[in-house]
A = this chain, B = another copy of it.
Amino acid sequence: MKKIMNRAEDYTDEMLRGIYEVHRGRVKCAADDLRCYCTAEKVEGKVAIVTGGGNGHLPLFLGYVGKGMLDGCGVGDVFQSPSGKQIYYIAKEVEAGAGVLFLYGNYTGDIMVFDDASERLEMDDIETMSIVGADDVNSSDDVNVRRGVAGIFFMYKAAGARAMSMGNLQEVYDAAQKAKENTRTVGFALTPCIIPEKGKPNFELQENEMAMGMGIHGEPGVWNGPIMTSSEIAKESCDTILKDMEVKEGEEVAILINGLGSTPLDEQYILANDVICYLNSRGIRVYRSWVGEFATSMEMAGASITVCKVDEELKAWFEMPVDTPFYKQN
């Protein structure tokens, strides 16, 4: 295991210490718990949006806490959920008089945690609503059990923008829901990653082998086979997405090309080019593209392709400014 760290058991806490130190003044922790990550730029009267999940996916999840996106994030150990109590403390800290939207990935552990926090907050008369990201098409045909992956970015963006324009809790929820309904992702891995506490790869792939549809924690995909070219990957991934979500000729989409960790930006742009060319060949217009690392699996190689079908309302939300320590958009 080749990692820049000290003791494996301190991996997440030392990372958090670094983040609080580097971005001091902009973020803080609640309840004296490093894992309770909150914005220091609370906006009174705004719906608070709280997310959370296991560590190991930076900039997901905590990187989206800041102006124009989220207000708090519960941080678990690598690939482990935070606790309900931690989410509760975060929500108490960032709640600003307009209720709290819980917006997180569709994983059993996380659902239990956020449900627990909702119950605790209900006793304090703080209203909550919950919505999960479930954009990973290849993870299931049943949309209710699909995993949440990089496409949650568009839900954060829509909900964050609606909250910044002082929408009420239902309106912020509806914005997240609208982004969710129109977002699909396909991901694929070229190499595994290593959980620091375990010290060995979380799965195996042969030399020259890729895993189509693999999840961001190494959940098995739909096939393992020889690495395809970028343009072949773009075509298969887009076909999978467009079979699941109709996008008519002439309609517009936003795309997110997400590097999983060790895949360089160079390759992400090669893939972006192929995805845009393929969508254009099907008469679909890409109104805007995001390319970079948005939801990683530490040092896993691979990428994901997210397509979000947009109308003028979604585009307006997507164009609103964001300023977090990890993500800026003017």
Contacts and interface: CB of A to CB of B under 8 A. Distances in A.
A214 to B, nearest CB: 13
B270 A15 contact: yes
A268 B15 CA distance: 8
Interface in A32-62: 55-56, 58-59
B299 A18 contact: no
A272 B328 contact: no
Interface in A275-297: 276, 289, 291, 293, 296
How many copies make up the complex? 2
Contact of A3 (B59, B267, B298): B267
Given A18-B291, A328-B328, A6 B264 contact: no
Given A262-B299, A270-B11, A330-B328, A4 B59 contact: no
Interface in A1-49: 2-6, 11-12, 14-19, 21-22
A138 interface: no
A4 B233 contact: yes
A5 B298 contact: no
Q: Is the interface of A mostly helix, strand, loop or mixed?
A: mixed
A190 B262 CA distance: 13
A208 B2 contact: yes
Contact of A291 (B22, B266, B276): B22
A273 interface: yes
Contacts of A323: 330
Interface of A: 2-6, 11-12, 14-19, 21-22, 55-56, 58-59, 190-191, 207-208, 210, 227, 229-231, 233, 261-274, 276, 289, 291, 293, 296, 298-299, 301-303, 323, 328-330
